[in-house]
Structure 1
């Protein structure tokens, strides 16, 4: 139910994409009395198929646990944020993508500095080699970190 923004309403923002929080946002203004479960069903009906573990709901920054969604009702003037959050292999994939981008960026950014520190001319080939020399250990270390993080997430 879409209403005009007023002091006696609740602002609901649903973000369905993990990687692009600006894509397909759903903004609603609802009356008090609607449960969090109803808000989730109204804003992201397809997300419920993922399972509640993939959805995080906060009211004014405070996390609402899944088991309480049917009981919790936001008060007028509050802001409800509904997000899809990566977990398990999806989380590992997101971290790996972010790590790869950061490693390549670091390699490109610090390559000239490395060559200057070693007093080596900055030709195209040497700059590429320096970038690879920086990128490779960053990726290796990051993969160890994401693998360790993935193991911690899957422990009971």
Structure 2
């Protein structure tokens, strides 16, 4: 009986593992950690971490790996994998919308004072200030919509 000789092969012991660090959301700072067996492909690791593979940035020991290579790249024992979710297409629009809404809430009383004149500080003045504060987010959503129009998506 003759044994086959294989060049450039590596035997991975069952106890060998890799450290996987990932963030499920681009807006959160906390990272999760999993210790997974070595020899898995990056795609299998992402599936085991239960992360949606859309818009991910994946590195092995600090080296970026493109999406097309995830099913082909198998990780060796002892490496560290970082997976970060990248903000999506609507993220900038949402962030700008929140900033404008906060600014509207802050500046509504300041804008209302000159408009109301002698009513400032009364119950009517407070009611009008509240109406202005409620109307500014509507104006904000219209203005952000003009700056960043939504892409037309047709379902087939």
Tell me which interval the TM-score lies in, with the shorter structure as reference length.
Answer: 0.5 to 0.7
Q: How does 1:68-83 map to 2 (within 5 A)?
A: 68-73=69-74, 76-83=78-85
Instruction: Determine helix, strand or coil for the equivalent of 1:147.
Output: coil
Query: Is 1:138 equivalent to 2:140 in the alignment?
Result: yes
CA offsets 1:46-91 (integer angstroms, 9 cap, x no match): x4xxxx5x241321666532211023345645332153864xxxx5
Based on CA coordinates, which of the two structures has the bigger radius of gyration? 2
Number of residue pairs matched? 133
Contact 2:57–2:84, Cα closer than 8 Å, also in 1 = yes
CA offsets 1:84-110 (integer angstroms, 9 cap, x no match): 864xxxx54x66655554443222111
Instruction: Determine helix, strand or coil for the equivalent of 1:72.
Output: coil
Identify the residue that residue 11 of structure 1 maps to in structure 2: 19
What runs of 5+ residues in structure 2 fail to find an aligned partner? Answer: 1-14
Contact 1:14–1:44, Cα closer than 8 Å, also in 2 = no
Contact 1:99–1:139, Cα closer than 8 Å, also in 2 = no
Query: Is 1:124 equivalent to 2:130 in the alignment?
Result: no
Q: Normalising by structure 2, report the TM-score.
A: 0.56
Instruction: Determine helix, strand or coil for the equivalent of 2:102.
Output: helix
Identify the residue that residue 9 of structure 2 maps to in structure 1: none
Query: How big is the shift at 1:39?
Result: 0.6
Q: How does 1:3-152 map to 2 (within 5 A)?
A: 10-16=18-24, 27-30=33-36, 32-44=38-50, 47=52, 52=53, 54-59=54-59, 63-73=64-74, 76-83=78-85, 86=88, 91-92=89-90, 98=95, 100-116=97-113, 118=115, 120=117, 121-122=120-121, 123-148=125-150, 150=151
Contact 1:11–1:77, Cα closer than 8 Å, also in 2 = yes
Q: Normalising by structure 1, report the TM-score.
A: 0.56
What is the aligned-residue RMSD (CA, Å)?
4.1
Larger helix percent: 1
Cα distance in 1 for partners of 2:62, 2:149 equals 30
4+ long deviations beyond 6 Å? 18-22
Contact 2:26–2:84, Cα closer than 8 Å, also in 1 = no
